Homo-oligomer: A and B are copies of this chain.
Amino acid sequence: VASRRARGRPGEFALIDRYFRPLARDPGAFGLTDDAALYRQRPGDDLLFKADMIVAGVHFLADDPPGSIAKKALRVNLSDIAAKGGEPFGYLLSLALPADWTEDWIGEFAKGLAADQKEYGVTLLGGDTSLASGGVTVAVTAVGRIPRGEMVLRSGAKPGDAIFVSGTIGDAALGLRVRRGELPGGGKGAKHLLDRHLRPQPRVALAPVLRRHASASIDVSDGLVGDLGHICDTSGVSAELEAARVPLSRAARAVLAAQPDLLPAILNGGEDYEIVATVSEREAGAFAADAKAAGVPVARIGRIVAGKGPPTVVGEDGRRLRIAARSYTHF
A residues adjacent to B (C-beta < 8 A): 1-5, 11-13, 15, 30, 33-41, 43, 45-61, 80-81, 83-84, 86, 92-97, 125-137, 139, 141, 143-144, 148, 151, 153-155, 176, 180, 218-219, 230, 233-234, 327-331
CB < 8 Å: which of B2, B126, B136, B155 contacts A51? B126
Nearest 5 Cβ contacts at the A-B interface: A134-B134, A139-B139, A133-B134, A51-B92, A53-B94
Residues of B within 8 A of A61 (CB): 1
CB pair B133–A92 under 8 Å, yes or no, is no
How far in angstroms is the closest Cβ of chain B from A172? 11
CB pair A48–B58 under 8 Å, yes or no, is no
Distance between Cα atoms of A230 and B30 in the complex (Å)? 13
Number of copies: 2
CB pair B35–A139 under 8 Å, yes or no, is no
Residues of B within 8 A of A94 (CB): 51-53, 94, 139
CB pair B36–A144 under 8 Å, yes or no, is yes
With a 10 A CB-CB cut-off, give which of A4, A36, A95, A176 has the most chain B CB atoms.
A36
CB pair B2–A36 under 8 Å, yes or no, is no
